Amino acid sequence: MALRHEVFEVADRLRARGVGVSLHNVIRELRYGGSKCAVGPHLPDWKAERTYLSRAEAA
């Protein structure tokens, strides 16, 4: 099960590389994988704390 800090670390790395921070991309990058149920609750928190906008939202 993906922990909150793991999701945040992966999302930060993806963003630093210029890769979209999506549920799919985060799960793929997690060391032990993850599921939508495990990662999903943490990703909106990360986006809110980092004031992240997707490319579509930023356009």
> What gap in Å lies between CA 56 and CA 28, rounded to an integer?
21
Q: What is the CA radius of gyration of the chain?
A: 11
Contact 23, 38 (CB under 8 A): no
Give, for all 59 residues of the chain, the pLDDT tens digit: 789 999 999 999 999 999 999 999 999 999 888 999 999 999 999 999 998 877 666 66
Contact 26, 14 (CB under 8 A): yes
| Helix, strand or coil, per DSSP, at residue 1 | coil
Which pTM was predicted? 0.85
Q: Which helix (H) or strand (E) holds 31?
A: none
